[in-house]
Amino acid sequence: MIKKILLFLACLAPWFLSSIIPLNYDYYNTINKPFFAPPRIFYPIVWTIMYILIAITIYTVIRAYKFKDIPKNYKTTLLINYIFNQSYTLIFFGLNNNFLGFVSCLGTFISALFLYEETSLLNNKISKLLQPYIILLVFATVLSLSIYLLNL
């Protein structure tokens, strides 16, 4: 049981890496935002839920396959999605760059679509846990584009 918990935590922990880097999160309060922009408190709550869902899908795949038997396409897509996902915080809050933040957000969305597809090939049932992630990324991409355009 302890091994399963540790494996799950190993699948979950990396998703919080960018959130422990000290950045100026007050930047969000200084920019023009569209009327549909949620308050800052929305983000840690929703992203924590998303990261848990992603970790469950990864954990399930790892438990079902030996690591070397997990298809390379799945591992590559997961890595690309992870890099885009983590880069957003660093770019948007670290560099205060709205355009590159949008590009990172769009990359996260597109790679999440591929991640959903790769996951569904391995376990169609568990891939459904990625649907809220994709829905959130549609919203985040529209929000990010709106923020960019409102702050030109």
Task: Tell me how far CA of residue 36 lies from CA of 39, 49, 93, in angstroms.
Answer: 9, 21, 20
pLDDT at 57: 97
* CATH label of the domain that carries residue 143: 1.20.1260
Residue 45 buriedness (CB in 10 A; 0-12 / 13-18 / 19+)? exposed
- Looking at the structure of the chain, the number of domains it has is 1
pLDDT, tens only, 2-60: 999 999 999 999 999 988 888 888 899 899 999 999 998 899 999 999 999 999 999 99
The counts of H helices and E strands in the chain are 7, 0
The label of the residue with tokens 């396409």 reads: 73
Domain hosting 84: range is 2-150
pLDDT, tens only, 75-122: 999 999 999 999 999 999 999 999 999 999 999 999 999 999 999 999
List alpha helices for 65-130, DSSP H: 72-89, 98-122, 124-127
